Structure 1
Amino acid sequence: MAIDVFSRCIAGFHLSLEAPSATSVGLCLTLVASDKVPWLQQRGIEAHWPIVGKPRRLGVDNASEFHSVAFERGCAQHGITIEWRPPGQPHYGGIVERVIGTLMQLVHALPGTTFSNPSERGEYDSDKTACLTLEELERWLAVAITKYYHLRPHEGIDNEIPLHRYEQGLQALAVANKTIPIPRDPRAFLIDFLPVVRRTLQRDGITIDHITYYSNALRPWIQLRNQPSPLLIRRDPRDLSRVFVLDAENNAYLEVPYRVLSRSAITLWEHKLARKCLREQRRTAVDESSLFAAIDEMREIECKAETLTRTARRNRTRRQIAKSEGAPTIAEATSPTIDIGPVLPFDIESW
């Protein structure tokens, strides 16, 4: 959840079944910076949500996702200053914590809530009464934000209405002849915040976690073999079918797909689950073929199962969400590579 401190408007959010990560932060920031009209239209919501543009400063806590190379490098590339909350000073996060508490009060009124703790839940059967899909819950949250939270007086801003205060702020910027920078391409903006991995370039391409990626665009690099250090690569955990390799000389990303193009798109959680299954089967060697065979087998079991376990239902939902969200593709940008501006060096990130 991201909140504009001046107006108390919600600038953006990201709802997921996954644990917080650099990717979820990037997806939240992408919604913060983007025009929300298409996002609302895709979800069939008629509402006014004018908050748009790249923030100049971000206040965050000290969670690992806010100390990742992906987050720090993305902010540096877009001129965003990071202010980490001082350790042991929880009141520095009071503004965003309060809005989360307000929204959670509304969420706990929904059927299927788990309440704040087991003792409060008592004998209530959350699984049996749950009726909302994750997509429906996302729409519910968007309506709660745009049609309820933004339009009610807020004590933190002298009982002003957040949306009115935000619009007053825009008018003040206009009078001062200032504007809020907006990303030219939201997908390119998201790539700048994806998790970072570094690998050396081999004759057959780039191998990451037993999967090899190759593109003809890498041929000149392979022939020269003049890469003194590992390549900086960004990978979207929602779609491992391609990676984005930094061309430091041209300040651009190259999209590099699977070497075997017939492989299906998979998510990182599927990849990890397949590796776990193969280890449990005591496979001594895990290779690309065995990984994809295991994933295909797991998908087939989930599709045929009449009664799915909670884990299987979540896995199926994860896959559907990753497909509907659409991971970033360079083909949809205005050029075959994405201009990322000045590049600053960072250490290797382990994720």
Structure 2
Amino acid sequence: MAQRRGIDAARRKFGFYENGLAADYPLQRVEMDEWQVDICSLFNESGALDGLSHEDRAKFEVGRRWIYAAVDCATRVVLGFRIVANPNADDAIRTLHLVTQDKTPIAEAAGCQSSWHQCGGIGVLVTDQGSAFASDRFRSAVVDLGTTYEAPPAGVPKLRGRIERLFRTFGQQLAPMLIGRTFSNPTQRGDYPSEHWAALTDDELAQILTLFIVDVYHNTPHSGLKGETPANAWKRLSAEQGVTPPPDANHRRAIFGIPLDRKLDRHGIRAFGINYTCPQMQEALLRGASGKLPIRVDPEDLTHVSVCIGHEWFSAAAVSRSVWGLSLGEWLEIARNLRLRFREEATLSEGIIREARKKIREIDARARQLRKVQPHHFTAEALDKYEKQLFTGLRIGPEGSAASGDLERPVGRKRPGPDDLLADVIETDKPLPEYRVGGTDSESNDEDGEDWTFDD
């Protein structure tokens, strides 16, 4: 065998069967890898192709997507997956982020009957020697999570047997149910026209994979668990041994958030037209801090951002509650619509924002969850571009501002400048008296008639 097919083939054929390294409780050991899906699909979203015939769909770009997946070694539960165009460090990090999150909203968006609540802190993470996993960004994220990282030697797949077995399950059990399958090798494929029969889009592929993992794979007896299902194994071992809790929201945001830099001033920091503040930022400003601060943004929730002051990350909350719970995609859509409606106004009404976000949430809730496992994502460069184009001069104002629909300003009311804090909110009932430096004024509050001095 070594002479005919090589040392690696001989080692695989004659090596003794092993069950891999032992894991006694959930998330003690997690294996992660990349895999090119055995399905030819359309590189597009279904919404853009609805109503088209099979022949018309086939005219779009066709190919095979990659996926990143992470599996728990003790229970065989899939802790997260992500469909990507090509393997890269950023998507590997986003898959790692899913491991620390409750993914039930994703399962519900895909129509699953079971929950996908399995998540937590990782003890040991095992990957291969791929370039994405070898990158400094990926390994820094692993270290920041407090996780031990292992990369076994290349060419020994049995050291990562669980994740390899998971991909084989996808190829043997899921792929045969789908049109456009590519088979595992050219001999098995024969003359089957995989590219011609490609019909699934990215969001359809994401929904199918989620349904298979959550409702089929997690509830199917597993030979490696002596007939127990992965879902029941997680339930039993988590009750007996416990699960390491995932990092808190601020910690996750500091590790996985989109990196940006924003200037600190008396408003706090402003990102996407939203002011953020926290006690630590106020203290830093009082002590003379200036310039730009590193921040991290979670594109799924704009309620808070993480701000680095000194060498520590702090959570800063949005001053306006109207954006609490909004995703970045929802806020971009709201801002774009309101810009079109009130083209000349720079201050937006909180009431209008609440109304718009309600409509968008009703339309976009399902698709927004499934996007977490699809190739589309925001980058720091794209966000800087959006902010320059869309959020220049944008602030959130209260009810009764010009953005509430009343474009006629009261007489004498000027447009607030970019640094006029609450200038569009605080008004006096009558004009303030005028004071002259070094002179007297009949309306002065100085009862003794003496001029005010600097000491006064």
TM-score, structure 1 length as denominator? 0.55
CA separation of 1:224/1:157 partners in 2, compared to 1, >3 Å: closer, same or farther?
A: closer
Q: CA deviation at 1:27?
A: 1.8
Q: Secondary structure at the match of 1:126?
A: coil
Equivalent runs, 1:1-351 vs 2, <5 Å: 1-16=69-84, 18-109=85-176, 110-173=178-241, 178-185=242-249, 189=252, 192-193=255-256, 248-251=310-313, 327=378
Q: Secondary structure at the match of 2:79?
A: strand
Match of 2:436 in 1: none
Q: CA deviation at 1:246?
A: 5.8
Q: CA deviation at 1:67?
A: 1.8
Distance 1:216 1:172 in 2: 45
Q: CA deviation at 1:190?
A: 6.0
Distance 2:142 2:169 in 1: 29
Residue identity opposite 1:184 in structure 2: D
Residue identity opposite 1:130 in structure 2: A
Residue identity opposite 2:244 in structure 1: I
State whether residues 254 and 313 of structure 2, in contact with CA within 8 Å, keep that contact through their aligned partners in structure 1.
no
Q: Secondary structure at the match of 1:51?
A: coil
Distance 1:193 1:131 in 2: 33
Q: Give the root-mean-square deviation of aligned CA atoms.
A: 4.5
> Structure 1 regions of 5+ residues with no counterpart?
200-214, 237-243, 255-264, 266-319, 331-351
> Structure 2 regions of 5+ residues with no counterpart?
1-68, 262-273, 277-284, 299-305, 317-327, 329-369, 384-456
Residue identity opposite 1:92 in structure 2: L
Q: Secondary structure at the match of 2:114?
A: coil
State the identity %: 29
Q: CA deviation at 1:116?
A: 2.0
Point out which structure has higher relative CO (alpha carbons under 8 A, 6+ apart). 1
Q: CA deviation at 1:96?
A: 0.8
Name the structure with the higher helix share. Answer: 1
Q: CA deviation at 1:225?
A: 10
Q: Secondary structure at the match of 2:82?
A: coil
Q: CA deviation at 1:159?
A: 2.1
CA separation of 1:35/1:225 partners in 2, compared to 1, >3 Å: closer, same or farther?
A: closer
**Per-residue Cα deviation, 1:231-252 (whole angstroms, up to 9, x for no partner):** 989899xxxxxxx996554436
TM-score, structure 2 length as denominator? 0.44
Q: CA deviation at 1:119?
A: 3.9
State whether residues 54 and 180 of structure 1, in contact with CA within 8 Å, keep that contact through their aligned partners in structure 2.
yes
**Per-residue Cα deviation, 1:79-102 (whole angstroms, up to 9, x for no partner):** 111111134432101111011111
Distance 1:196 1:70 in 2: 12
Q: Secondary structure at the match of 2:237?
A: helix
Q: CA deviation at 1:58?
A: 0.8
Distance 1:76 1:323 in 2: 23
Distance 1:179 1:155 in 2: 23
Distance 1:156 1:46 in 2: 24
